[in-house]
A and B are shown apart, each in its own frame.
Chain A
C-alpha cells in the first residue's frame, strides 16, 4: 500500500443547535487518501458532504463539535489538537480547504495580492512584500494564471478566473491535500473545465499531493476523481473506484443516484431517468436501522431496527446494505431489462 496522505478513522462530529439538539452530520466516517490520488464525495444535498469537508481539517467552531475518531495527516495525528494550533500549523500548510461559494467570499475592496500577503505573513511574519510578490508571481505563472491578476480586485475578474484565483491562493503554501467543496458548480462549462484542469495540474506538478473533491454532479466527479465515496444521512454507504461507483454501484442509494445522471451522449434519451422518492431523513432523529430503508425500493423487514455495518468486499470496495452483492446485481439487471 502506498503512502496515505490523509487517513481518517471513525470520525464523528455533530452540530449542536440553538435548541440543544444534536445533529450527527458526520457519523463514524473512515477514509484514506493516498499520495497522488483524488477522492470524490457524492450525495444529495443535506447528506453531510460539506460538514465532512469541514470536519476533516480538525478545526471546529460552534455549532460544529468534534465527538470522536482520528484524523492522521501525513503520519501526524491531529485529532486531539486544539483549534488554535490547528489553525496555525495545519490549515493552509497541510490541508487547504476551499469552501462552497468561496469565490463570493473574497473581500471586494482588497486586491488579490493582499490576500496572498495575508496568507504568507500568517505563516512567516518576516517575509517582505517584495518577496511575497515575486513568490506569488512565480506561482501564478506556474499554475497557468496571468500575473496581472495579482493587481486586480475580485470584481474585475470573471467567475471562472475568480475561482481559479481562490484555488491558487489556497494552495500557495503547498499543502499536502486540498479539499474542494463544489468548486465549479456555479460556473459555465468552459470555466468549470478550466478549474478542473488547474486542479489536475496542481496534482501533476506536485503542488498538492492529494485531493478530496465534493460535488453532487456525478459526471464531473467521475471525470475528476480516482475513487468515490457516497454519503447518505451522515454515513458512508459506498466506497468504490469512480468507474465502479458509476457503472456498477452496489448500494441501492448509489444505484438511485447514478440513475439520475444526465449527459449529452447518444443513448441517454432512451434511458429512463430514475428519481429517488422522498427526502433524506432528519438527522436530529435518524432511523435506527438502515437510514435509507424508508426510500429504498428493495427494503426488507430486516432492514429496519438494527444498524447496518459497512460491508467490506475487497479491493477497496465497501457498501452498507444487508443484501449480498450478487443478489443486488441480479435485482438491478432485472430492473434494467424491465426498463427497455
Chain B
C-alpha cells in the first residue's frame, strides 16, 4: 500500500454562486478534483474564471454553495472556529497581492511571531523565536535584523512576496495554495520565488497548488494541470498531456495565444 498515492485535497461538485436572480454569478461550477500528496498541481484559467473563488473555498475562507470538499480523504469539517484553526495548520495560502495578507497595523516581527504562535511555539524563549525568524528570513534572502520594527508596506513588492514565503517557512503547512504568486513581479523574481517554493516543498514536504493564468508556469512546475474556464474544469491531466497534447478547444486557444520562442506566434487567430 505504501506506494499508493495519498489524497490530500479532493472535491465533488464543488460550486460557488454569488448573488441571486439576475445578479447571480456561478463563479465555480460543479468541479471535481483529486489532489495527491507530494504532487504539484496547477489550476490555470483566465481572469474571472473562478480560480480565486475556488482557492478561498479550499482554504475555508468562504463556504461552498454546493458540493463537498475532502481533506486527506475525509469529508472536511471546519464548522467551528477551533476546527478551522486546526485546518489552517495544514493548509495555507499566498495571494497575488501581498498587501492583502498582512494586517497593515502589524509590524513584520508581529507577522512572523504570529506564525510561530500558530505552530504552538508561543511559549518558546524569546531568543529561540528570534533564531527561528532569522532563519526564515534568511531562507528568502531577507535580513531579519533590518526588518524588525518595519511595516510590510515599507518593503518593495519583491520583498513582500518573499516575506510571505518566510511566513510559510515558519508555518510549515502540508498544502500551500499559491494564488498568482508571481503575477505582480518580473520574470527574474519569478524564477527566484519558484526556486524558494520548490525548496520548501523538498524541505518540509509541502504540496504546492499553483493557481495561475500563466500556462507556461503551469507547464514548468506541475505534475498535474487543471484548466478552468467559466468556473468549470474543462480539461485535466498530466502537464505533458494537457500542455503538449491538449484536446479541448479552450486549452488549445490559450496555448495558441501565448507568445512562445520556438513556435511562431500566429496573430491571424484573433
Question: Which residues of A does B touch, CB under 8 Å?
Answer: 44-45, 159, 188-190, 192-194, 196-197, 200, 216-220, 222-224, 246, 256-257, 259-266, 268-269, 273-279
Beyond the given pairs A45-B186, A262-B187, A269-B240, 14 more chain A to chain B contacts, judged by CB atoms under 8 angstroms and listed by A's residue number, are A45-B157, A188-B213, A189-B257, A193-B257, A216-B186, A256-B188, A259-B191, A261-B261, A262-B214, A263-B216, A268-B220, A269-B219, A276-B188, A278-B141
Q: Which residues of B contact A274 (CB under 8 A)?
A: 191
Residues from chain B with Cβ under 8 Å of A276 in the complex: 188, 191-192
Which residues of chain A have C-beta atoms less than 8 A from B219's C-beta?
A: 262, 264, 268-269
Q: Known: A189-B257, A218-B187, A275-B191. Contact between A194 and B263, CB under 8 A? A: no
- Residue-wise, chain B 180-206 has the 8 Å CB interface mask toward A (1 for contact) of 000001111111101100000000000
Query: Could you give 29 example pairs across A and B, Cβ below 8 Å?
Result: A45-B158, A45-B186, A189-B215, A193-B259, A193-B270, A196-B267, A200-B267, A216-B188, A219-B258, A219-B259, A220-B259, A222-B259, A257-B188, A259-B191, A261-B187, A262-B187, A262-B190, A262-B219, A264-B219, A264-B260, A265-B260, A268-B219, A269-B220, A269-B240, A273-B220, A274-B191, A276-B192, A277-B141, A277-B192
Given contacts A196-B267, A219-B259, contact A264 B215 (CB under 8 A): yes
Secondary structure at the B interface, as helix, strand, loop or mixed, is helix
User: Which chain B residue shows the least CB distance to A194?
Assistant: B270
Interface residue? B112 (CB, 8 A):
no
Number of interface residues of B (CB under 8 A): 41
B residues sitting closer than 8 Å to A (CB atoms) are 46-47, 141, 157-158, 185-192, 194-195, 213-220, 239-240, 243-244, 253-255, 257-263, 265, 267, 269-270
Residues A257 and B187 in contact in the complex (CB < 8 Å), given A189-B46, A262-B220: yes
CA separation between A159 and B262, bound complex, in Å? 28
Q: How far is the CA of A45 from the CA of B182 in the complex (A)?
A: 13
Docked pose: A256 CA to B188 CA in angstroms: 8
Q: How far is the CA of A265 from the CA of B260 in the complex (A)?
A: 7
